[in-house]
Structures are given as structure tokens and as C-alpha cells.
Amino acid sequence: MDIIAYFQSYINYFWEWTTDEDVPDDTGYNENNLISIPNVGAIAYRPYVIEILKQLQPQGLPPFGALLLLLYASQDGYLNLDGISYHLKRVQLNHLDVERLNIDKGIRFLENVRNLGNKYKKGQNRIVLLQTVFAHLPVVASSVSADLMLKVFAKRPHIIAESAHKKQPNDSVIIKDIRTLAILDGRFPTTESIINAMKGMVDIPELEDEVIEEGTTVETDKDFIQQLIEEPKTFQVGSLIKRIWSGLKIPMRHLSPGEQPIGGISDMTNKGELHRMLLSEFANEDEVFMNRVANNEALYIQREIPPEENIFERIILIDTSLKNWGTPKVLAFASAIAVIKHPKAHSECKVFALGQNNIPISLDKVDEVVENLNQVSSVLEVSHALEKFFDEEHTEKDLEVFFITHQENLVNQNLQKVIHENRDRLKFLVTTSSDGELNFYKHHKGTRKHIQKIVLPLQELWANPPQRRQRRENGISSNGKKADVPLNYPILFPAPVNKIATFLYEGEFYILSNKKQLLRTYLSDNYYNKNYYDYYKIHHGCEVLIEDISVKPKGQFALARNKQQEFILCQYQPDKKMISKLNLNTKEYSELNLTGKRIPLNHKLVYYDKSFYLHQHDIPYSYKIPIEGNVYLEEVLEKDKEMDRNTSKVETEIKKLSGSGIKILNNFSNIGINAEKRLVISNSELNKLYDNSIALYRNGRQLRIYAEQNKNRFTFSDGSEIITDTRGMLAFKSSNKNIPEFYMPSTDHGFLALATNTEFGGSEYYLPQNTLLKVKKMEEMYEECLERFIDQIWEYGT
């Protein structure tokens, strides 16, 4: 087989040669430098595929299509095997005389490869995987032919252009490419059988099962470090962390030992295969040549896959002895959290407090930091605990140990002895001091090297501590449990001002808020009085459908429902060349990298006729993304004028939601009752300045009765409570059981509403579209609910 035939691409086949103009090739030929699967994703760049073939050359080359499928299945991240199955079955339909493909078995084998642990699919182990499975199959190019093909490519890389010119596939090619996978499934029916076969070729260390966490994408309004700063008990620790980050030089990830080919002498080795021997070695006389080969003195060219990331575990040991109390202990915990929570840190980390014993601790939550800052020991030094730690079973190969202690403790002979004896296992030594000085040392090849000093301006960083929160008389602290709030209330929430996206689907309006919620809203259809129902009066509040949506507020969005009536959120990020789908009900997620796809710049993501599309009015073709299943693109070449009209209509309708948001009051403080017997919320007074309406206005009177705060629960002296909801709602629970529980929106703009579970009064903005609430005048609701609520508290207080 010649090189053109081996790399030949075919019409309507499952793979093709494409060009990534942003990635130059070191051969100088930059066309056809990427192999991809149409509407599924990229497989690999040409240089990497050539390096793979060089590794497989000694045993001969497998069918090129089968190799590409295996390369795709052994990639990291999400894999669209449904898209692969679609392409393979389409090939089968076009060649009905081919009865031996067994596509289902082939897909099953690819799934087994996908389910292998990451260790078996990275770096050199990925090469071993390919060598192992293809060693059990006939080759399409012998070792000699493969060597010749690779030499031809090295001299004439542009020859790929002839292979990139697509031809009609024949049955022989299809059988070799696709049936190969079915044969492999028969020989490797499980992932364990693949691993066992790989271990027969090379020694692969056993791995613990990995737990892959969604990295997704959940963003909180307040990060962990900010929470530490805002909590008075952890303020000192939290305020130091980002300053430590700015100067920290500790490496956050390592590469496993290996050689990355960079040319010159670094590519030379004294061990290798005959075909890699330098030509100059053959110029020696026969006796000299044989002598050099026998004594491993001959030189070979070594080409290895670049080294892989080393997955290691960090262990941080914090000294809690007498000298490390006070400020040094604060510095020690700040240093530990800085290492654990560093933005570039991805390794697992365990923390131990060393005193009389070794106590495992966690520093992942504010409450845990508060609790563990109280870890103190009465011992003078911790040499015994440190020695005990190293004597225990902490013999992992990829282990990185930090020990944080006071600078003065290093003069202790016992501690010096333990550190010296374990210097090969103690990677980093960090010392603290009372004046804010941190010193970092590294043990390397038996010697200790000072790598950096960080001096923290403590007086400056600790100048503005947060005020202590109010405490309740009954002793419940602010660390108590937060009061639960329901998903929805009898009345609507105010619509938020800040939105990620708005949608019109099947005649209903939806909002994706910046708090990662899916909301449903509606516009009033009451237009009988144009003077009264101006533009702003047709808006209404919203109900919450789904919360805690894992999505980044970037790119374009479209919303639809699948056959199970589950919400599907499609996201298109042109800058990242990425399209993804998220099932908001089941949290199932899939994505597709669009690198290599020539999608026009102004294509927009839209929903139309039960599918998503990348669409543009003045371009005749679009890309279809089905709602069901995983993400894949289907090119639609015909112009659909109805899609243009529908898209324009949807844009016009969605514009009606502009200006619908109301500023929500969600920072609650100073709730009480003023001298005029009116409720005050965050320095705003609830007042009736107009008939049949209530609103919040600036309070100018002194508070007579205060409510004490515990998280989101404000309690008055009689036991009556107001529970706040940062989404824009207040729930009132009186100590008088004859007063029903009622609700009021919390917004500092516009007229408000009051509602119980059966009655409603106030602004129609908060009245649900389909409701059984009995509508009453606001004056009646105010007297029956809020006025009685205030009177109960006032009478008890006086």
C-alpha cells in the first residue's frame, strides 16, 4: 500500500482532512493539518498522527479509519459516540452488500476504550494501548512498507493533498476500517481485558478509582476567600490569602519524568531499534560497529510523546505547638489555604494539625476554618508528632508534604533531627513569624534551599475588620441554620434587572437570570384602557422553575423542551468555538468543539420548529442541532424563509421584556418598627402615601423596636418572625396564630402587594396569571395582615 492510498479520504465517510489555519505545521505544509469527524469533533492534528504511526511502524500499520476511531475514543473529555454511530450506520446504508460490519459491536468496543481510566489513555500509555489492541489484527502495511511511507511523507508532506481529494469508498476499505472494531470487541469484551493485555506488554502501576467532578461551571456570587474576609472570626486569615498568592512561587503542577523531544543532543539515546540508529554509526568498521552496539554505545534517535501531567497528592502539616499560637498560627492557616485554594492548583490535598497527635482537618468551608483555628496544643514542639506521621503508612510515590511551623522552632534539636531524617519525603518547609514574615524552603537531593520570602503588612491588611453581627438573646449565633425558603410563593417574584438571556418558547416568556435561575413570566393582555395600561404596566413578575443552573454567562442561548418535557438549554460560544446542551432537569450535559468548522461570524443560535439552529438571515445555509440526544451538527443547505420570519417575530416579542426588571432588595439589615408604628426594612419605611397601595420610602424616624437577626431570620421580642428571601420576597409569621402567614415582595421601586395563601391585594404585577387567590383591596389586606402583625409586636414590646 502506498502513502496516498493509506491516507485517502472518501465522500460521505465518517472522517475527513480539514485545515486549521491558526496552527502552523513544522513541515512547512499547513494545509490539511487536522483530521475531524463531520459535525462531531476533531480527532487529532496531523503531526500527532504521524508520531503515532512512527510508534506503530515496527509492528505494521492498522487500517487508518480504525486507528482514527480509536484515537477519538481515547481522548479526554466528552465524546459524542452517538454521532460516531450515526456516521457508521449511514455508511452501512449506502453499502447494503456489506453484511459483516457489526457496527454495534464496534461501538461497544469504543465505549470500553472510553471507559478506561485516564492513566491508560495519556502519554506513552496511550501508545501502549494502540500497540496492544492492533497487535491482535492483520496489518494493511507491513513494517517495511510503513517505514517507506513515513520517509516519503517526511520528504513530501504536501502529498497529503492528493489523499484529501475525496473519492467514492469501496467495500474493501469499509470492511477494513469498521469491521476491525467488531473483531477487537470479540478479543477485548471488557475494559479489564484491555488493561490486562496492556500489562502484558508493559508494567503499568495500579491506580485508585478516580472521581471526576463537574468543573463545570457553577459560579457562586461570593467566593470562598471573600466569605472568609467577611466573617469576623476568619477575617485575619482571609485577608492574607490573596496577598500570599501574589508572591507564591510554589509549582502548582508537575510533569512526570520524561524527555520531550526538542532537537539536537536531547533527542539522542544509547538504546533503541535498528531503524532509529544514526546513519553515522554505520560508517564505522564492522568490528567497531558491533562493539558499540553490544556495549550500548551506539546512538539512536529518540522520539517520545511529550511528558504527561503528574497526578500527585499534597499533604500539609500545621504546627499547633505553643510558639505557633496567635499571629504565627493565623499565618500558618492562611498559607495552607493559599496552597489548597490557589487558582492553578488541581491536586488533591489533605491537612493535619500536629500537636500531641496528628489530627486530620478540613479547610473547605468557613465554619471548618473557624473550628480548626481553635486547634491548639500545649506541647513545646511537635517533633514526636512529625516523626509519627512519617512512620505511618504515607509511602505514596507521588506525595508532596508541606510542614508549616514557627521560625524559632527550627533551632530545636529534636525537630531538626526529624526533618533531616525525612528530608527526601518532606518537600517544602514553611516558617512563620509574629511580624508577618513567611519563608519557603525546598528540599532537593538532600539539601534545603531557600526559595522565597514573603513579608505581609499585617497592620495594613487587618486595618478594617468587619463589624460583629448582632446576636440573639437566647444565645443562638449567626452560625445557626438558615431558614428554609420555598421554591415559589402564592405571589410572583419581582423580575430581576440583570438577565443572562430571555426566551420566547411556545408562546411563553422565560428568563435566565444572573443568579442562574430559569424564570417564567408573562405580559398582560388587558389593553382596554390604553391611558392606564402604558408600556410598563403590561409587565408582570415571575415564578422560579429551576435553580442552581450550572452555566457560565457567556455567548448565546436558546431554550426548548424535549419529548419528556424537560428543559434543554443550548449555549453557543463563538469565541471558544464551542456549542453545548444542558438538560436543566436531569443536569445531563454534552458539548461539541467546532474547531475546523467554517461557521460564519454572524450566525446566531435560535430555536425553530423543534430544533436549535445556527442561522443567519442573508446566508442560505444553516446548521441544525437536534434537541434530543448529544450535540452534533447537521448542515441544512436549503433556505427556509419561514425561519427568517419566525426569528424576526421572536426578536420583536422579546423586546417587550426590555425594562421589565425591578431592583430587588436583597441586602437586609435593621428590620424593626419605628415611632410611627410602621415597619422598617433596611432603613426604608413601609408606607401608605397613596390610596390602595403600599411602597417602601426612606425612613426618617427612630426605631423603637428591633428584630434580631440570625442568618435570614429576623425575630422580634414576642416571637414574631420575618424570613427574608434574597430572590425578592418577605414571609411574615406572627406569634399570634390568629394572624395568617402572609408575604410581601421586597423591592425598593414601585407599589407592592400583600398576599396570604388564599387572598391577594396590591399591584397586579405580582398576581399570578392563573390563580385561585381572592383579590381584595390593599387597604383591607393591610389592616388584616400587616397592621395586626405590627400591633402584636408593639403591644408585647410596650
Beta-bridge partner residues of 624: 613, 634
CB atoms within 10 A of CB 613: 23
> Does the pLDDT value for residue 306 go beyond 60?
no
Which three cell numbers, joined as nine digits, stand for 139? 496489518
Backbone angles phi and psi of 545, in degrees to 5: -100, -45
Please give the average per-residue pLDDT across 454-472, as a whole number: 69
pLDDT digits (tens, 9 = 90+) for 498-513: 899 999 999 999 999 9
CA distances from 417 to 410, 412, 414, 688, 722 (A): 10, 9, 5, 77, 61
Predicted pLDDT at 797? 63
557, HSE (Cβ side, Cα atoms, 13 Å): 21
For cell 498559607, the residue is 335
pLDDT digits (tens, 9 = 90+) for 85-137: 878 877 776 664 445 567 888 888 888 888 888 778 877 788 888 888 888 67
pLDDT band at 263 (very low <50, low <70, confident <90, very high): low
Who contacts 299 (Cβ-Cβ below 8 Å, separation ≥6)?
Answer: 268, 269, 270, 277, 278, 280, 281
Q: What is the grid cell recorded at 475?
A: 444565645
pLDDT in tens, 328-346: 889 999 999 988 888 777 6
789 sits in which H/E element: helix 788-797
Q: Which of 199-203, 479-483, 528-532 has the lowest mean pLDDT?
A: 528-532
Q: How confident is the model at residue 314 (pLDDT cuts 50, 70, 90)?
A: confident
Query: Using CA atoms, how far apart are residues 338 and 454, in angstroms rounded to an integer?
Result: 13
Chain mean pLDDT for the chain: 82
- Say how many residues make up the chain: 798
Structural contact between residues 312 and 277, judged by C-beta atoms closer than 8 angstroms = no
**pLDDT band at 614; cut points 50, 70, 90:** very high
Residue with the bigger pLDDT between 779 and 475: it is 779
Could you give phi then psi for residue 40, rounded to 5 degrees?
A: -120, -55
Q: Is the pLDDT of residue 247 over 80?
A: no
What's the whole-model pTM score? 0.45
pLDDT on residue 533: 45
